[in-house]
Every structure is written in C-alpha cells, then in structure tokens.
Amino acid sequence: MSSNRVIFLIFDSVHLLDLAGAVTVFYESGCCGKHYDMRYVSPYQNPATSSGLGFSNVEPLSSVTVNKNDIVIVAGMEIKKWNRADDQLWIPWLQAAAATGATISSICTAAFALAAAGLLNGQNCTTHWAWTTILQQKYPLLKVMDNKLFVQSGRIFTSAGIATGIDLALYLIEEQHGAAFACLVAKDMVVYVRRDGTEAQNSIYLQNRQHINHHIHQVQDHIVKHLHHKLKIEQLAELVFISPRNLTRLFKSATGTTIGQYIQSLRQEKAKHLLKTKHKIAWVAKECGFSSPAQLRKSVKEA
C-alpha cells in the first residue's frame, strides 16, 4: 500500500466544506510535488451533502482495508440527520482502522462519530464551538476542549470544523513532509498557516495562534506587522472595536499569554534573527521596537 493514502469517510448529509477543505489540501500537495492517493468511502451508496449536492464516485467501506500508514478523515455531518440506526454499518470498520495504528481524524461534528466508536474515551478532543458542550454531555468520558483549531491525542486528531479542517490537513502534511512544504501548499491555496500549538513554533508569525478568535488574530496580525512602532493596548482595541479591558481579557484567554508578553517575545525573536544577519545593533533595535541598543541587549539576554 502507498504510505501517502488518505481515505475520506463520508456520511449522508456531510458538510461540503468540512470535506472539500481537507480534500483540497491533499490535492494541492500533489500539485506541489507530493502526491496522495485519495479514496472516498461511505456506508451509503449515494451520500449527499447537507446542502443537497450528491456524490456518485464513492466506494463501499468493504472495498478499502486500512493499514497503519493511512490517514482516515471523517468529515462532519448534520447531526440532526445523522442516522444512528446505521452504526453497525461503519463503527466496526472505523474501530478496525484505528486498531491498525492509522491516523484517524475528524472534522467538525464527525467527532461525534469517533466518540460513538469509542475512539475518544479518556482523550482530549474538540469539535465545532457550537457542539462542544453537547459532545461533552453526551460522552462524559471525553475531555472536550474549547477554542482549539484541532487537538491531537496519539494518532487521533479532532478539529473544530469548517475551515479548521484545512488547518488539520496542513498539519498532517507537515508531519510527513516538513514545515516548508506545508507552507508551500498553504501559499498555493492562498490560506494563512496556523498551528495547533503542540509543536515548537518555527516562525514569529505563527506563535500563540492556536485559537479561533478572529478578533485576536486581527490584533496579532497588526502586532507582527508593526513591531517597530510603539504599540498601545488602546489602539489595538480600536482595531477590533472592543474596550482595552475586554481585549486584555480575551487576548489572555485565547492565547495563554498577555499582550505585553506576546509583543516582547516577538521582538526578542525578531531581534535574535536580525542580529544573526550582521545588521548594526542600532538598526535592529529600531526595527524591533526597542528604545535603544541597550534595551535590546537586555531583552535578548533575558529571553
């Protein structure tokens, strides 16, 4: 079997972007030089999307035997139309796939399917923000996490859904082919690369981005682009039309760090990088937003 095989499990009433986002990442990987054999399986002969579009080129589950090198991705579905009477059509297959050691991933509400199959018992996981509370209530053995793009527990991944399926797929690409290639695929797709936060960040542009708060992402983008300026919380708050006090609270909740600490860490890392390029220290200090070369030296020494 190819070690670069991705198997998409499709339920009836699947959400189109949950499926298409991840599919596109692996398709674009092929366009960038790393091909994936993509298979589409379903317990139903002609599953349809929640928006009414139907599929015809879908194989029965029995036609694909999963091995440990495969990636299985279960796309999210409309829970209200999810037919639990059909559990035995797919649960044994999914359990067998997990037992091989294959990578099992859910996008959005598909976390409910992984939970129903018993794959998330005692594990950290997530789903779309509108369903995290219900998932936890329905499956109390789970450790459901809020405000995460995606969560890894061993070789099982769960994502927050919709566009975060793209983030998860890019991370899986990075696992196999490295960060540089994942960034190339992201650039080809014209999307911003974010990270789960369990791995060391290799770029100042990606630090503390493991959340789904759009306003905080806007503030982070502004900070990164304006490190050479004096950054005031009042001005940052005006960017997203919230109070400075509320921004301070939301920023810490989303990122796990304060705005001041975030700015300081970015300035320190940028300074370390620029100093290696043999620029004059006075220029580096100004470019990174330090008031003087002495302040830069002190900050870098403390980092």
Whether residue 126 is contained in a domain is answered as yes
Number of domains present in the structure of the chain: 2
Say if residue 236 is in the same domain as residue 130.
no
Say if residue 169 is in the same domain as residue 238.
no
Three-state secondary-structure class, residue 6: strand
**Residue range 253-273: average pLDDT?**
90
- pTM over 0.85, yes/no: no
Query: From CA 57, how far away is CA 195, in angstroms rounded?
Result: 33
Three-state secondary-structure class, residue 38: strand
Residue 275: which CATH number? 1.10.10.60
Say if residue 159 is in the same domain as residue 52.
yes
Say if residue 120 is in the same domain as residue 260.
no
Whether residue 203 is contained in a domain is answered as no
Tell me: pLDDT of 206 over 80: no
Looking at residue 210, its pLDDT comes to 74
Say if residue 131 is in the same domain as residue 275.
no
Please state which of the ranges 130-134, 147-151, 190-194, 274-278 shows the lowest mean pLDDT: 190-194
Whether residue 166 is contained in a domain is answered as yes
Element (H, E) at 99: helix 87-99
Whether residue 209 is contained in a domain is answered as no
Tell me: pLDDT of 278 over 80: no
Nearest to 3 by CA among 37, 41, 26: 37
Say if residue 166 is in the same domain as residue 242.
no
What Å distances lie between residue 165 and 75, 120, 140, 251, CA to CA?
Answer: 9, 18, 24, 24
**Residue range 183-200: average pLDDT?**
69
| Domain coverage including residue 256 | 214-302
Whether residue 205 is contained in a domain is answered as no
Looking at residue 214, its pLDDT comes to 87
Q: Which stretches does DSSP call E strand in the chain?
A: 5-9, 37-42, 59-60, 71-74, 103-107, 124-125, 143-144, 150-153, 156-159
> What is the DSSP code string of 216-242?
HHHHHHHHHHTTTSPP-HHHHHHHTTS
Query: From CA 199, how far away is CA 136, in angstroms rounded?
Result: 26
Say if residue 125 is in the same domain as residue 52.
yes
Say if residue 145 is in the same domain as residue 290.
no
Whether residue 201 is contained in a domain is answered as no
Residue 73: which CATH number? 3.40.50.880
Whether residue 219 is contained in a domain is answered as yes
Say if residue 48 is in the same domain as residue 111.
yes
Say if residue 107 is in the same domain as residue 243.
no
Say if residue 76 is in the same domain as residue 41.
yes
Whether residue 239 is contained in a domain is answered as yes
Q: How confident is the model over 84-131, as pLDDT tens digits?
A: 999 999 999 999 999 999 999 999 999 999 999 999 999 999 999 899
Tell me: pLDDT of 197 over 80: no
Query: From CA 127, how far away is CA 142, in angstroms rounded?
Result: 12
Say if residue 169 is in the same domain as residue 234.
no
- Of the residues 155, 189, 223, the one at which a domain ends: 189
Distance of CA 222 to the CA centre of its chain: 21
pLDDT tier, 213 (very low <50, low <70, confident <90, very high otherwise) = confident
Nearest to 148 by CA among 213, 80, 227: 213
Q: How confident is the model over 30-84, as pLDDT tens digits?
A: 999 999 999 999 999 999 999 999 998 899 999 999 999 999 999 999 999 999 9
